[in-house]
Structure 1
Amino acid sequence: MDRSRRNFLGLGAAAVGTATLQPATVEAREARHGGDAAHRWAMVVDLRKCVGCQACTMACIMENRVPEDSFRTIVSTYEVAENGKSATYMLPRLCNHCENPPCTPVCPTGATYQRQDGIVVVDNSVCVGCGYCVQACPYDARFINHETLTADKCNFCVHRVDAGLLPACVETCVGGARIFGDLNDPESTVSKLVASEDVKVLKPGEGTDPRVFYIGLEAEFQGRVDGTPTLWRPSRAKAEPSLV
């Protein structure tokens, strides 16, 4: 089924010494592998429609209670020279939910794992904040949440997906640049875009087989994941009390 912006699916730790960590058993890992294997959720980001408004960033922060100065998703902006003039290039970034995620095999407790529907999640009830997964991610998509002291990242708003809703960033994208859907459904918008458009992924040489695809991604930006939001940054400073 399609998960375009207007078509919903009707589905209903402080770090410790690594020497003390014991790998999770296969049974323990499999017990947490939720999701329906019939689906393979993915996102297409159409850069031709992204205006850098950061509505996706703010929606993610509010939906997932992301702590200050951390981001599960953000639109990085680059200043580029084009025909002798300055221009701005927008690059929305988030966890790529790789088919072959490098973050999962390095997790000593099995806190980071891939669901049967392809979504890579973090079980922060067993995460010890060792940071191995943060270092293993080639996309700079993970961070240690300074409030929970556990690994954090985009999870496609899995709580919404499981309830038949769109990820918050897709729901609020004013330009319709983010499209979410099921790659296993040939009639979904995501499947049709991947089949018909010249889609690219970030860092294809890593062999991770990302499930976040880009339309209009320039080759020189495929390896760039370190852009900074030069035009905008959220501020959560409390308003000064009025003296009036």
Structure 2
Amino acid sequence: MRSSDAAQTAKKQPRWGMVIDLTKCVGCDTCTVSCKAENRTPPGVSYNVLLELEDGIFPNVKRVNIPRPCMQCDKAPCVQVCPVRASYKADNGIVVIDYDRCIGCRYCISACPYGARSYDDGASYEQEMLGYNDVQAPEYGKKRGPRRNGKIPEGVVRKCSFCFHRLERGEEPACVETCIGDARYFGDLNDPNSVVSKLAASSRAYRLKEDQGTEPRVIYLR
């Protein structure tokens, strides 16, 4: 491929990002539940969690709901510390975990300033949900299962991938599609006319822990 062709291909590659409007989030946990159902995550592993914080000084205090997926950082500490390069940035900017390379050392869990990674220790919902261990995980477009005898993804680190497998089908992440408050927006940050690009450039926009220099692709609106 000529350099000009390669440059043209790179230009067309989307730069996926997510904007979450905190004024619309009602704290219903639908994103958490839909994410677990979509990605078949086991006990102790949740890619989307809802943090509840108090803002203000008593008596003028209010509760703020902060949904927290993986931030898909452009300068991801988790990628930098992985000793086997199991974590890396895909062409579309999503931070990916190669389960076949991951050795479960959990350095990346310690390095992530957002607490967005979890270790799959093999726990199961089999006692609560008959046949749970036979259901396959669809992540990254490769079905894994059944969950028994230490088969991958057991024994590896897992996290949100912006529902990579759904993006490949032209669909939005499950948390975006099911948000009852329409608080989540997803799209191409490389497209200046996209909704996410316009919202990310607004005066209400901010990123969590910007002082860490991670350059996350999840942007919040105050």
- Which TM-score applies when normalising by structure 1? 0.71
- In 1, distance between residues paired with 2:12 and 2:69? 23
1:197 positional shift = 3.7
Q: What is the correspondence of 1:1-244 to structure 2 with a 5 Å cutoff?
A: 38-80=13-55, 84=59, 87-147=62-122, 148-216=154-222
1:37 positional shift = 6.2
Q: Corresponding residue for 2:3? A: none
Higher helix share: 2
Asked whether the 8 Å contact 1:37–1:116 carries over to 2, the reply is no
Q: 1:62 to 1:99 in 2, by over 3 A?
A: same
Tell me the matched-pair count: 182
- In 1, distance between residues paired with 2:11 and 2:174? 20
- In 1, distance between residues paired with 2:66 and 2:219? 12
1:108 positional shift = 1.3
Structure 1 gaps of 5+ residues are 1-34, 217-244
SS in 1 for 2:79: coil
- In 2, distance between residues paired with 1:151 and 1:133? 8
Deviations 1:12-67 (A, max 9, x none): xxxxxxxxxxxxxxxxxxxxxxx996210000000010000000000000000111
- In 1, distance between residues paired with 2:180 and 2:57? 26
Over the aligned positions, Cα root-mean-square deviation in angstroms equals 1.7
- In 2, distance between residues paired with 1:93 and 1:188? 22
1:86 positional shift = 5.1
Residue identity opposite 1:124 in structure 2: Y
Residue identity opposite 1:109 in structure 2: V
Asked whether the 8 Å contact 2:14–2:188 carries over to 1, the reply is yes
- In 2, distance between residues paired with 1:84 and 1:196? 30
- In 1, distance between residues paired with 2:195 and 2:206? 16
Structure 2 gaps of 5+ residues are 1-9, 123-153
Instruction: Tell me the percent identity.
Output: 47
- In 2, distance between residues paired with 1:180 and 1:86? 30
What stretches of structure 1 move > 3 A for 4+ residues in a row? 79-83
- In 2, distance between residues paired with 1:108 and 1:36? 30
Residue identity opposite 2:83 in structure 1: P
Residue identity opposite 2:114 in structure 1: Y
Deviations 1:101-153 (A, max 9, x none): 11112111111110011000111111110001111111111111122110111
1:200 positional shift = 0.5
- In 1, distance between residues paired with 2:23 and 2:159? 25
Asked whether the 8 Å contact 2:44–2:118 carries over to 1, the reply is no
Residue identity opposite 1:76 in structure 2: L
Deviations 1:75-123 (A, max 9, x none): 1112455661553210111110011111112111111110011000111
SS in 1 for 2:31: helix
